[in-house]
Amino acid sequence: MEVKEVVKVHRKGVIVLPKNIRDALGVREGTLLGVRVEGNKIVLKPLDMWDRVWKYYISKAEEAEIVR
């Protein structure tokens, strides 16, 4: 893995994402990030909340049809 940026972990695990990375991914204050571990890596991914809301309602609609 090629290191592009270096960040420091502060108290309580707080990190600051560099501006160029935030800009590239459209991450701004209030953006929710999904976090997972892949091997020895920490992976952060911006969450598309509209997509999550849509999938939630689709699954609820499918459940409602099954119950009928």
Q: In this structure, what CATH number is given to the domain that contains residue 18?
A: 2.10.260
Q: Which domain holds residue 36?
A: 11-67
With cut-offs at 50, 70 and 90, classify the pLDDT of residue 60.
low
Q: What is the structure's pLDDT at 23?
A: 94
Greater confidence (13 vs 62) lies with: 13
Q: What is the structure's pLDDT at 50?
A: 72
pTM for the full predicted model: 0.62
Tokens of 23: 């800009």
Q: Give me the number of domains the chain comprises.
A: 1
Burial 48-68 (b: 16+ CB within 10 A, else e): eeeeeeeeeeeeeeeeeeeee
Among the listed residues 44, 48, 47, 49, the one whose alpha carbon sits nearest the alpha carbon of residue 16:
44
Q: What is the structure's pLDDT at 54?
A: 66
Residue 24 lies in a domain: yes
Cα–Cα separations (whole angstroms), residue 45 to 31, 38, 54, 62? 10, 13, 18, 28
